[in-house]
């Protein structure tokens, strides 16, 4: 039996192409959502808890850059966990798309480094509360660099394992897609993202030249160059910000 995650042959019906994109879209959102929740959300809170213990008592009660009060568990914390889950879903789709063009361990490493470094460069800012009042600053920078790297790595790791049974085992698929069931109805902005992603992916497979590019070396070269450019630009920005902070 053909895997539901296998690319339909050229000339397949439009419904088959869109179904293929739909299955991979949900897989990327599910794995990214779990990684965003566990690494970005829970991991981020653990990192802040550690920094609260290593910092002076004056930081307690201060509002962090993420909008929650340091040292308190509140509704803002729950909201932050939901936000990291949604962000993880979006990133998960991007990582799954990139991974389809860059198989192998080298491709995985490049994807993780590019995505993780880009994420860290967006989190670590010299003028924020998290990187001015929390101490020690090198520890703060290290942890919030590792978190997005870990999130990207976990997303690819889960995707590789779940793709074996995804859609073929309905019960496991539904349980794995729990982040979508809980978060998507709350964050309606994710619904247009799903619709647009499905439309773009499906239409790309319906255009002969694009489909050909996605299934040969052209797609691999383009994605590799893009990932490399992101890694270089994000690394420069990240190193510059960390140097200013510490």
pLDDT computed for residue 71 by the predictor: 66
Question: Who wins on pLDDT, 118 or 134?
Answer: 118
For residue 126, the tally of other CB atoms under 10 A from its CB is 13
Domain extent at residue 38: 14-245
* Inter-CA distances, 144 with 42, 148, 238, Å: 13, 7, 11
Which two structure tokens, joined as six digits, stand for 207?
Answer: 């255009």
For residue 130, the tally of other CB atoms under 10 A from its CB is 23
Indicate whether 8 belongs to any domain: no
DSSP structure class, residue 40: I
- Spatial separation of the C-alpha atoms in residues 169 and 191, rounded to whole Å: 25
Query: Nearest Cα to 210, choosing from 198, 218, 8, 24?
Result: 218
pLDDT computed for residue 174 by the predictor: 93
Across the chain, mean pLDDT equals 90
Q: Place 150 in a pLDDT band, splitting at 50, 70 and 90.
A: very high
pLDDT computed for residue 68 by the predictor: 66
- Spatial separation of the C-alpha atoms in residues 93 and 232, rounded to whole Å: 22
Indicate whether 1 belongs to any domain: no
pLDDT computed for residue 1 by the predictor: 42
For the entire predicted model, the pTM comes to 0.93
Indicate whether 7 belongs to any domain: no
Mean pLDDT, range 71-91, rounded to an integer = 86
Is the C-alpha dihedral spanning 224, 110, 152, 156 positive or negative?
Answer: positive
- Spatial separation of the C-alpha atoms in residues 56 and 199, rounded to whole Å: 51
pLDDT digits (tens, 9 = 90+) for 18-63: 999 999 999 999 999 999 999 999 999 999 999 989 988 777 767 7
Q: What percentage of the chain exceeds 90 in pLDDT? A: 64
Q: Is the pLDDT of residue 2 over 60?
A: no
Q: Place 78 in a pLDDT band, splitting at 50, 70 and 90.
A: confident
Q: Is the pLDDT of residue 4 over 80?
A: no
Indicate whether 113 belongs to any domain: yes
Indicate whether 209 belongs to any domain: yes
Indicate the number of domains in the chain: 1
Indicate whether 2 belongs to any domain: no
CB-based contacts of 50: which residues, under 8 Å, 6+ apart? 139, 143
Indicate whether 6 belongs to any domain: no
Indicate whether 9 belongs to any domain: no
- Spatial separation of the C-alpha atoms in residues 76 and 74, rounded to whole Å: 5
- Spatial separation of the C-alpha atoms in residues 44 and 172, rounded to whole Å: 27
Query: The tokens 């799903």 sit on which residue?
Result: 194
């Amino acid at each position: 039996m053909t895997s539901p995650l296998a690319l339909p042959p050229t000339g397949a019906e439009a419904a088959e192409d869109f179904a293929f994109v739909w299955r991979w879209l949900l897989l990327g959102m599910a794995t990214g959502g779990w990684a965003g929740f566990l690494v970005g959300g829970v991991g981020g809170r653990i990192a802040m808890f550690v920094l609260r213990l290593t910092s002076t008592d004056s930081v307690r009660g201060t509002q962090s850059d993420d909008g929650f009060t340091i040292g308190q568990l509140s509704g803002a914390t729950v909201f932050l966990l939901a936000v990291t889950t949604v962000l993880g879903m979006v990133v998960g789709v991007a990582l799954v798309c990139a991974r389809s063009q860059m198989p192998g361990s080298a491709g995985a490493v490049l994807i993780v480094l590019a995505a993780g470094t880009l994420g860290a460069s967006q989190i670590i800012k010299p003028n924020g509360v998290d990187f001015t009042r929390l101490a020690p600053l090198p520890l703060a920078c290290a942890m919030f660099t590792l978190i997005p790297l870990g999130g990207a790595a976990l997303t690819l790791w889960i995707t590789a394992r779940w793709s074996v049974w995804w859609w073929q085992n309905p019960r496991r698929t539904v349980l794995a897609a729990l982040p979508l069931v809980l978060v998507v109805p709350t964050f309606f902005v994710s619904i247009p993202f799903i619709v647009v992603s499905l439309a773009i992916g499906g239409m790309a497979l319906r255009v002969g030249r694009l489909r050909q590019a996605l299934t040969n070396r052209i797609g691999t070269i383009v994605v590799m160059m893009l990932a490399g450019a992101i890694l270089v630009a994000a690394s420069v920005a990240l190193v510059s910000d960390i140097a200013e902070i510490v």
